[in-house]
Structure 1
Amino acid sequence: MSIPDSELAVAAASAGAHVVRVRYGTVLARFDKSPTDFATAADIEAEQAILDVLRTARPDDAVLAEESGRTGGTDAARTWLVDPLCGTLNFAARTQLVAVNVALRTGSHVSAAAMADPFTDEVFWTDGARASVRHAGTDEPLAPTGESRLVDVNLDPPFPNASAFRAARLLADDRFVARFGPRVLSTTLALTWVAAGRRAAYLTDGAVADSVHFAAGIALCRAAGCVVTDLRGAPLAAGPVGLLVAADEQTHAELLALVRDQLTG
């Protein structure tokens, strides 16, 4: 292996980000996945660029990619998780809030990951121990902080815990609005912003463990020192347990108390 896994993740995410940036604002074919979900030609082309980088450097690794599915053995010790364009709806509406996610799962944990912002030319990356952002060839360590009090809330379906918890209800809670400033990016780019200190926290409902959408961001936030749990404050596990990531323990505790009021109310 001539290139470290973390550098390969950066290279792959950067290749995908280049495609996304070039295709922005162009006429794109759409491919329906469901009545409420679709991919664009940019998703597919960006994924192919990422896969070309990964397969050239690590031909024996397995890959799980959002658009093309799984290739390689299901029992492979190393699997790359690829989300070529997180924020397709934003992108199709010509909104520059998207992320390109690449993560390597080695055994049961993510050992390297990169998340690229195509429009700022920033790549957020981790080797499992360090968390940094690379811009213009220079790496800077990430330093999460809750000082902004800005919390990004994912309002996109599905909502598997809707009977007990809805993020929209949290936005209407006077105690939430008194303490935090809600934001909605509708992309896991928000996770990089928590790790970088640009957001105090992020929360979403749904299944996040081992997800191509969330694996890179979760690994990045953990390496940066963020507090990462499910919506009940427990370690992440399989199933629709949701995700709560906070820059520090105090922010996490305050948000968890508000979420638990819904879950137990």
Structure 2
Amino acid sequence: MTKVIELSGPPSLGRVYAKAVATSRGRRGGDLPDVRVVRKGVRVDPAALADYDRVCGFALRDELPATYLHNLAFPLQVSLFADKRYPYPLNGSVHLDNTLTQHRPVLLTEAIDLSVTAGNARPHRRGVQVDITSQAHVAGELVWEGLATYLYRGRRIEGAEPPRAAEGDAPDGPGAVWRLSGDLGRRFSAVSGDINPIHLHPLTAKAMGFPRTIVHGMWSQAAMLAGVESRLSPAYVASMSFRKPVLIPGTVRFVAQVGAPGEATQLALRDRRKDTVLVRGDVRPIS
């Protein structure tokens, strides 16, 4: 029987995050729990949405960016990670991929019911990967879904590693040059609540094995979607693969190859100096 954890309000993310990190050492892997974290009747603060839009580059509108709904669901994810039944440690986990499905635009004025579950634990060449599924309903209607894949390094699980899907070259071209400031991680943390230390200061990032501060993957996905916002369909699927850390301060190049009507738009975020692909993704309209 599914265990339901219902949150009556927004959790203290700092406290929950600290609990998840503090208990990481005792989490050695195993079967995923049949647990669902829910929060009902969520209302969006217009000022908070406006701050988020400014940091990510979205136009100020009364529709929620698909990535902002991930923002609303993220505290539920961390609450799941902090639950003693969850077998994998938050500390050292890596966000590999993120797919967002917007079934229809969600309005600022609507009350949103959110839920989060974990499933599909499977081998990865560097550990175990797990899918975290988030959903948003309005008056019983499924309006948005998120699928976040996390890697837990050094863990093991039975089974064969799934084959990697074949894909062509990432889009390339002149693109738009973005100069990312050293405080971008702190600014996005302020509007997203994601206070992972690797995003906040060079010293804490170095302690986790990075040469300097790295920006949030969800900022990258949001900024890339904002870069093609005028071309987004009312319903779409946006998939991103976070290939390499986006170091800040730094300079990147955003490239978008717009597909034919009804086809996917290919996206890439590249290191301007090395030309390596940092984030790769696409946006596909839903008819």
Give the structure-2-normalised TM-score: 0.26
TM-score of the superposed pair, with normalisation by structure 1? 0.27
Structure with the larger strand share: 2
- Judging by fraction of residues, say which structure has more helix: 1
